[in-house]
Amino acid sequence: MIEFAGVSKAFESKPVLSAFNLKIDQGERVVLQGPSGCGKTTILRLIAGFLAPDQGSILIRGKIAASNARICIEPEKRGLGYVFQDLALWPHMTVFENIEFPLKAQSVSAAERRQRVAEMLGRVDLDGLGDSYPTRLSGGQQQRVALARALINRPTVILMDEPLSNLDEELQAALTDQILRLHTEFAFTLVYVTHSKEEKRRLATRSILLRGGGAVED
């Protein structure tokens, strides 16, 4: 599904990943852990296509997505969902518009968009909040909007970058359960970055510890 082949990446000549290799299979729930600056977020951004590897290749569904400092498949053509650490909800759009945007970008008809967004709002327990702006919602509700937006166009891979780090333990537990339910329903591949052992315990089918630019432990 996703493959890193000898990927190296440095920022301002400071290496973050060196000759890094990783294979993630369809439907896996991979949790990435490691100290700050070890390259967890960089891996997600490389998969998403926001960054290109300095050396090596990244393959998605068997196709070269990026190779040797060149992006071969643009982010919008990779068919991914991404839940950012700060959620990145567009503050000038309502909850409905936030979730609708990926469908609009794919030129889905207005009637189908309305129906699919309404359905998704129900799935993530946000019924009746479609007209609200994200800044008016609680942390947990914002988190669910981000999840709904990432899932709305039924991607095969979802990337999550410490999405629950700002929530209390009870809410974290409830939302990890919700992620698991949605994973079962949509059968996506999950690549999840966290510092929390509890989230890892609940979510991971496989965990990877990153150290010193590439050492990987399963």
Q: How far is the CB of 34 from another protein (least distance, A)?
A: 14
Q: Write the binding mask 155 to 194 for another protein: x where contact by CB under 8 A, - elsewhere.
A: ----------------------------------------
Measured distance CA(38)–CA(198) in Å, rounded = 20
Q: How far is the CB of 91 from another protein (least distance, A)?
A: 6
- Contacting another protein within 59-98 (CB under 8 A): 74-76, 78, 80-82, 84-86, 88-92
Contacting residue, 34, 53, 56, 102, with another protein by CB under 8 A? 102
Report the residue number, 6 or 15, with the smaller CB distance to another protein.
15
Name the DSSP letter for residue 135: G
- The answer to whether 144 and 179 have CB atoms below 8 angstroms apart is no
Report the residue number, 130 or 134, with the smaller CB distance to another protein.
134
DSSP state string for 40-80: HHHHHHHHHTSS--SEEEEEETTEEEEETTEESS-GGGS-E
Q: How far is the CB of 96 from another protein (least distance, A)?
A: 15
Q: Does residue number 112 form part of the binding site for another protein (CB under 8 A)?
A: no
Report the residue number, 90 or 122, with the smaller CB distance to another protein.
90
Q: How far is the CB of 78 from another protein (least distance, A)?
A: 8
Quick one: angle between helices 110-123 and 95-105, nearest 10?
130
Count of residues that interact with another protein, criterion CB under 8 A: 26
- Contacting another protein within 12-51 (CB under 8 A): 41, 48-50
**Which amino acid is it at 169?**
E
Category of 6 on φ-ψ map: left (φ > 0), alpha (ψ -120 to 50) or beta: left
Report the residue number, 48 or 121, with the smaller CB distance to another protein.
48
Which residues of the shown chain bind another protein in the complex (CB under 8 A)?
41, 48-50, 74-76, 78, 80-82, 84-86, 88-92, 101-102, 105-106, 135, 149, 153
